[in-house]
Amino acid sequence: MFQFEGNLNLSQRMTHELGKAIVRGQYSEVGGLPTEAELCDEFGISRSAMREAVKMLSAKGLITSRPRQGIRILPEDQWNIFDSDVLKWILESNPSLELLKEFLQMRMAIEPEAAALAAKNAQPQDIEAIGKAVDRMIAAKNGLDDPLQSDIAFHISILYASRNRFFIQLREFVQTALNVSIRHTNQLKGITVGDIEDHSAIYYAIKAGDAVKAEAAVKHMIDEAQGLIESALKQEK
């Protein structure tokens, strides 16, 4: 029996629990899911609530539901990992180093450019938000703030500072993945708080309006993380 999460309505709870079960491999592509009627009996919920959960999972690319074909689980390459729920379920189940490597590759494609744009486009309030995130990281090093959340706040504030609406829309995806990625890379480095010097270098470059330096500073930071993951992958193999 699944343990339902709080603060969600019944359909949302079913979506989360079935989504996590699919990602963990509790149901196979071959076997698919039980019928809506069987799921309703198992969990004691209405057909309308279950149908809504099925619609949500279909929208996330995990399943397809068609008359006379039942509920089928789609191949993993069709799952919408840009959906923050799907990504969270994958990362919570058993995040592989290979997945974290791919996420860092995506960060390398996005964050240096976001930092360069921030150096060109950031408004005073954007600069202030990045500076506050650095201050939070310093406070975290002294045990006065959360090390992970302060680090995430830094990276998200740069997406906002880029003033690029497409980059800003990636905030939930980036935040969800960073929750796991930063923990792994910090553990590999043997630290509990992100490197203040590296983050400060990015902040001051953006504040100075130096797009080239801001881009290079972000590339340096992500490249270091990629090196740690690559080393860990070699040891794993």
Q: Which two tokens stand for residue 142?
A: 């002294």
Q: Which domains does the chain have, with CATH numbers?
A: 10-78 (1.10.10.10), 95-236 (1.20.120.530)
Q: What is the pTM of this model?
A: 0.84
From first to last of the 237 residues of the chain, give the pLDDT tens digit. Answer: 444 454 458 888 889 989 998 998 888 777 778 888 888 888 788 888 888 998 999 999 999 888 777 788 999 999 999 998 999 898 888 778 888 899 999 999 999 999 999 999 999 999 999 999 999 999 999 999 999 999 999 999 999 999 999 999 999 999 998 988 888 888 888 888 889 999 999 999 999 999 999 999 999 999 999 999 999 888 887
Alpha helices in the chain, H assignment, sequence order: 10-23, 36-43, 47-59, 84-93, 97-121, 124-141, 147-161, 165-168, 171-189, 196-207, 211-236
User: Within 13 A of 220's CA, how many CA atoms are on the CB side?
Assistant: 13
